[in-house]
């Protein structure tokens, strides 16, 4: 069976772990952004790891163009799989960009990551709220796409007995 390169495989699994950590960790533990003022420390780790996830996405988008193009699925499945992958990349981008917009506009990043004075945090203005909503919705779409991806891999393996996981392993 043809395989993805070792570099791409490593990136897939590191990125998967980081995204799951962000999605599960933030859904369970991250408080809502304070309306006016409040403790911004809980956001520090999320922002730093979120930015790492964006850099990993960019590396992946660059590397994917050099990976082999597999033809394993029949045509209708091929289109579904391709769009699932494309949408995963796109939605990670929207999630990351909306997070950065929120942090930039409200000065959350300056305060929580770089230790600037709390008073420069501008609170949850309408624009910040808009990006928070985009961030929230896109994370839910991402969870659904990842669930489809994992269920798809498992079902395909059971139905066809082709171990596609080997393509994404070292
Ligand atoms: C956060 C979790 C995950 C994300 C975001 C993710 C994302 C992706 C993406 C975007 C691709 C396409 C690579 C390309 O562009 O060609 C891919 C391929 C693949 N992933 Fe995942 N993945 C995740 C978790 C998993 C898990 C848990 C499994 C194991 C069940 C898995 C198995 C695979 C396999 C086997 C492929 C190759 C499929 C093929 O070539 O058709 N992934 N993944
Ligand atoms: C692609 C990477 C990212 C993922 C998967 C992710 C995921 C999440 C999730 C699941 C939540 C909780 C949503 C909710 O339950 O309402 C959240 C909230 C939040 N995220 Fe991210 N995030 C990412 C990147 C970022 C980045 C880069 C920043 C900032 C630079 C950021 C800033 C925030 C903030 C401020 C909140 C709280 C929003 C609110 O009060 O509604 N995130 N994120």
**Mean pLDDT throughout 41-61?**
97
Q: Would the pLDDT of 155 be above 80?
A: yes
- Which ligand 1 atom is at minimum distance from the Cα of 166? 35
Percent over 70 (pLDDT), the chain:
100
Query: Pocket of ligand 2, candidates 43, 93, 99: which has the most ligand atoms within 8 Å of its Cβ, to mutate?
Result: 99
Ligand 2 is surrounded, with C-beta below 6 A, by 19, 22-23, 26-27, 30, 32-33, 43, 46-47, 50-51, 53, 92, 95-96, 99-100, 102-103, 108-109, 132, 135-136, 139
Nearest CA-CA partner of 121 in 29, 40, 27, 4: 40
Percent over 90 (pLDDT), the chain:
89
- Which ligand 2 atom is at minimum distance from the Cα of 92? 1
Nearest CA-CA partner of 88 in 52, 110, 69, 60: 60
Tens digits of residue pLDDT in 8-22:
999 999 999 999 999
Q: Which pLDDT does position 74 carry in this prediction? A: 78
**Mean pLDDT throughout 142-169?**
95
What pTM does this model have? 0.95
Domain ranges of the chain: 6-168
Q: What is the DSSP letter of 165?
A: G
* DSSP conformation letters of 116-133: --GGG-----HHHHHHHH
**Residue 86 has which token pair?**
């494309």
Instruction: Quickly state the pLDDT bin for 153 (edges 50, 70, 90).
Output: very high
Q: Would the pLDDT of 72 be above 80?
A: no
Output the residue whose Cα is nearest ligand 1's atom 3. Answer: 16
H/E stretch holding 105? helix 75-106
**Centre of ligand 1 from the C-alpha of residue 44, in Å:** 28
List, in order, residues 6 or more apart from 52 with CB less than 8 Å away. Answer: 18
**Mean pLDDT throughout 77-82?**
91
Q: Would the pLDDT of 38 be above 90?
A: no
């Amino acid at each position: 069976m043809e395989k993805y390169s070792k570099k791409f495989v490593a990136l897939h699994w590191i990125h998967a772990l980081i995204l799951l950590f962000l999605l599960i960790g933030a859904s369970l533990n991250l408080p809502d952004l304070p309306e006016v003022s409040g403790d911004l420390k809980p956001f520090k780790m999320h922002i730093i790891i979120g930015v790492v996830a964006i850099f990993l996405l960019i590396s992946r988008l660059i590397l994917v163009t050099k990976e082999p193009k597999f033809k394993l699925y029949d045509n209708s499945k091929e289109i579904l799989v391709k769009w699932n992958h494309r949408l995963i990349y796109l939605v990670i981008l929207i999630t990351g960009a909306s997070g950065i917009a929120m942090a930039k506009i409200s000065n959350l990043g300056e305060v929580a990551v770089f230790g600037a004075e709390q008073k420069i945090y501008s609170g949850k203005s309408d624009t910040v709220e808009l990006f928070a909503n985009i961030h929230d919705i896109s994370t839910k779409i991402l969870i659904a796409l990842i669930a489809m991806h994992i269920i798809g891999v498992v079902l395909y393996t059971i139905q066809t007995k082709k171990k596609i996981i080997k393509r994404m392993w070292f």
